[in-house]
Amino acid sequence: MRTDTTFKRAFNDMIDLLRTFDPGAELPSENALRAQLGVSRTTVRKVLASMSARGVIVSEAHGRIMREHPQQIERYPKEETLAISQQVETSFMEWMLRDNACPGTEINEAELARKFGVATTIVREFLNRFQKYGLIEKRQNAGWVFKGFTANFALELFEIREMFEMRSARLFASLPDSSPIWKQVRAMRAAHLELLADIDARFQDFSELDSRFHRLIATVAPNRFVESFQDVIAIVFHYHYQWNKRDERTRNEVAIREHLALIEALESRNIASIDQACRAHLTSARETLLRSIA
């Protein structure tokens, strides 16, 4: 049966939300909370009931009042707030990347389901979605084959990435000053400089910034297929580097500097510089990935 991860996530979020109110304050309506927590009213009511039961809030004639800041209420642990399908993604990635599964390995739905402790339906659904990442292949009336997280995979991935990214980057040259994207570019530069200043402590934050940076570049010429491909890149980098920490700090610092160079090139509107900076970064990222695979 369905897990109540949505409720638990909303419950945790509600704790944070309550911190922004003063003790004794009247809470917003269920509908307002629904919008803020991003869940249905049904779930909001469940959270409210749960909070009431713990005495954090009390129902009055005219609505609900927060009694006190929920200091000692326990949050639900992170794992319990993730839908089973998301947990399966992590489990699978771990199996694939950490256990170093060999190219050509047969993937068995039933076996994975047992190993991960979930229903076969979920594994099946995950594999169907995962297919688009190009790492597995289905065989008629039989299981799947793992094609391997290989150098070849990396090369094919970067071949497409280069096509897509060069196309977007070049478009910046002809973007008018008035385009709102320049503001975002400046903000992006600031975020990079900030991270760079504190690189020793925060180098792990780079992965997410990286993804945001490349997605921003892609937005100049919106295309659903390009966006979908960004998901492929994001998931590969996210999980691969999560379990592959060699030279992480250096690697990220280099990438940040390359990003900054590209930002400068974009702002210069000079096609040649843009080309050069973009290609330099992609080449470097590709080599880094290849080195970590070999």
Q: Residue 134: left if φ>0, alpha if ψ -120 to 50, beta else—which one?
A: left
Place of tokens 């994207």: 181
Beta bridge pairs of residue 146: 136
Q: Please, what's the largest Cα pairwise distance for the chain?
A: 69
Q: With H, G, I as helix, E, B as strand and everything else as coil, classify residue 88.
A: helix
Minimum distance from CB of 164 to a second copy (Å)? Answer: 8
Instruction: Quote the tokens at residue 282.
Output: 């992609």
Q: Decide which of DNA, a second copy, none touches 248; Cβ closer than 5 to 8 Å per partner kind.
A: none
Contact pick of 21, 28, 84, 134 for a second copy (by CB under 8 A): 134
In whole angstroms, give the CA distance from residue 226 to residue 163: 10
How many CB atoms are closer than 10 A to CB 158? 19
Look up residue 177 and give its DSSP letter. Answer: T
Q: Decide which of a second copy, DNA, none touches 46; Cβ closer than 5 to 8 Å per partner kind.
A: DNA
The candidate with the shortest Cα–Cα distance to 64, out of 45, 37, 83, 42, is 45
Site for a second copy in 41-80 (CB under 8 A): none
Q: Decide which of a second copy, DNA, none touches 167; Cβ closer than 5 to 8 Å per partner kind.
A: a second copy
Binding range to a second copy, per CB under 8 A, among 208-216, 226-234, 262-270, 281-289: 226-234
Q: Decide which of DNA, a second copy, none touches 56; Cβ closer than 5 to 8 Å per partner kind.
A: none
User: Considering the rule CB under 8 A, would residue 128 count as an interface residue with a second copy?
Assistant: yes
How many CB atoms are closer than 10 A to CB 110? 11
Torsion of CA 63, 69, 73, 78, to 10 degrees: 90
Minimum distance from CB of 75 to DNA (Å)? Answer: 15
Look up residue 79 and give its DSSP letter. Answer: G
Minimum distance from CB of 16 to a second copy (Å)? Answer: 19
Site residues for DNA per CB under 7 A: 1-8, 29-32, 39-43, 45-46, 63-64, 83-85, 107-111, 118-122, 124-125, 140-144
Minimum distance from CB of 16 to DNA (Å)? Answer: 18
Binding range to a second copy, per CB under 8 A, among 152-160, 181-189, 242-250, 271-279: 152-160
User: Considering the rule CB under 8 A, would residue 286 count as an interface residue with a second copy?
Assistant: no
User: Considering the rule CB under 8 A, would residue 163 count as an interface residue with a second copy?
Assistant: yes
Residue number, 198 or 227, with CB nearest to a second copy: 227
Segment 97-101 long-range contacts (CB within 8 Å, at least 24 positions apart):
97/149, 97/239, 97/240, 97/243, 97/244, 98/243, 101/146, 101/148, 101/149
Interface residues with a second copy (CB under 8 A)? 6, 39-40, 121, 124-125, 128-129, 131-132, 134, 141, 147, 153, 156-157, 159-160, 163-164, 167, 223-226, 228-229, 232
